[in-house]
Amino acid sequence: MIRTTQPHGRIRAALVTSVIAALGVALLAPSAHAAPSTSLSVVAAPEVTWTACRDGFECAVVPAPLDHGDLKGEQIGISVIRLPAGEPSRRIGSLLVNPGGPGGSGVDVVRAVAKILPLELRASFDIVGFDPRGTNRSTPLRCFDTLEQAIATLPPIPFPDLPEEEELQRVSDDALAGACAQHGGAILDHMSTADTARDMDLLRAALGDEQLTYLGFSYGSVLGQTYANLFPSRVRALVIDGVLDPVAWTTGHGEEAVSTPVGTRIGSADGSERTLDEFFRLCDAAGPDCALAGNASGRYAELAERLRAHPAATVDPVTGATFSVTYNDLIAVTVGALYAPFIWPDFAALLVDLEQQLSPAALGQRLAVVRSELGLEAAEQEPYPNVVEAFPGVTCSDSVNPRSFATWQSAADSAEARFGRFGRFWNWTASACRSWPSSAGQDRYPGPWTAPTTAAVLVVGNHFDPATPYQGAVAASQLLPGSRLLSYAGWGHTAYFSAGNFCVDSHVTRYLVTGDVPAAGTVCEPEGSPFGPTEAATPEDTRARTAVNAAAVPEAVRRALQAR
């Protein structure tokens, strides 16, 4: 095993928390069992008209078939943005980026991060982002007439912990699924990742590239694996970071599809628990640099039990609205904080504020700091376009899930018993899939996931990733013939660029530019503790952080951090 570390300083360590993660979370058309494409001449390049859209970026809407099995039928629009290569003489082609979610905006993330990506990438590639079909500025899935109607379907809790809360979740899920069945339109049945992978191949052709260069984070790892298996001969370089096991995401292993929801199958509860244990260990080791130091694990457990019995009152400093911080909120906010180690000092301070039962106003100020650092302020004005329909629209198209509510309840009990405090949170993340229209899964790609690609795929796995645990990267690398696993022995959601780790960044950048993979068994070591000294973030870093977290952090975390 090769273990590598180099001095780097945590350059932008905070900036792109989960660099593009997310959510920060398979599929095919026209047939769920169609053979992978092998010819490079099948896809006709659509016409694209680029227009300037501020600060050197260019934007376009690329036409794509609603149904890839009916190429001459109804067309939809895919919203695209690019930053042209900084050195045309060195230009290799386009680098397509997906930030995860599912439902995260590639347009927003590329606008925020493209100019602070490594110089080699900016010189060599047009940096391209797109909003996947059904989301954001592309032809969207719309199930409501107004924003208020969409918000009204959300439950008043981030996730259910008690039987009466589970009933609230059931009512909410049925309302959302019913509204989408009635008003969602044709796009509802064509939002699988296979549909988006085929859109991405159209984009490749439209951009003039013979083969695809791709960087996908979190759910973007499913998109990357799907593309690699549908179009194995069109892979020039493909990086997946924060990796989901594609079998767990789609059908589950064995009989899991009938007994275990996708949110539990993918192992995020285990990843969250392992990462929280590291937070406690590093906090205690940091001493005075961590506000919760001194039996951090025990103090957190005591706080959780107290909030379960007696929620803490707080006041939103922006709106003046009063609300309570419950046990459910604590768990959800903890998940969000685990995505981004650079906020761990402030998260520890928040836990101490809750422990000491500060005044509602003071506690509200601390919550606002964490909300700002996670980039979630925009959720107060606009949770609707990117979250309410988009996440289940993709997830429920991709994954097979139990249809019985009693099975979901039983699975939640089992997840808590097996994985601890995060079991229920992750179990319910995709609960709308229980009643989601079954027609949405018609384009799903269920595998196989073992197509030999023309170039080796680079799989990046973080040892302590709370959302996409390391075993997902191991599973994906074992499935993809000739792929190479690059491991990062650090913390947080995803590793490239977000961790500010020289070893990870240099290996991934070199691979994208040259195609050279790291040596087998390479493990990059972290360059310090999240509780150690950090460089101040620039305004550009802050904007990048906000956009990336908006794409990555689960909807439940948003609700836990604001009045509702």
Domain chopping of the chain, boundaries: 51-146+193-260+448-548
The pLDDT value recorded for residue 18 is 35
Q: Which two tokens stand for residue 530?
A: 């999240």
The pLDDT value recorded for residue 43 is 54
The pLDDT value recorded for residue 564 is 61
Which whole-number Å values give the CA distances from 420 to 234, 301, 327, 449, in the listed order? 43, 12, 14, 31
The pLDDT value recorded for residue 377 is 64
CA–CA distance, 442 with 518 (Å, rounded to integer): 38
The pLDDT value recorded for residue 559 is 77
407-432 in b/e burial notation, b at 16+ Cβ within 10 A?
bbbebbeebbeebebbbbbbbbbbbb
Q: Which residues of the chain have pLDDT under 70?
A: 1-43, 377-386, 536-537, 542-543, 545-546, 549-550, 563-564
The pLDDT value recorded for residue 140 is 93
The pLDDT value recorded for residue 36 is 46
CB 261 within 8 A of CB 433: yes
The pLDDT value recorded for residue 527 is 93
CA–CA distance, 14 with 541 (Å, rounded to integer): 8
Alpha helices in 448-538 (DSSP H): 470-479, 502-514
Which sign does the torsion angle of CA 266, 222, 470, 268 carry?
A: negative
The pLDDT value recorded for residue 549 is 67
CB 66 within 8 A of CB 76: yes
CATH placement of domain 51-146+193-260+448-548: 3.40.50.1820
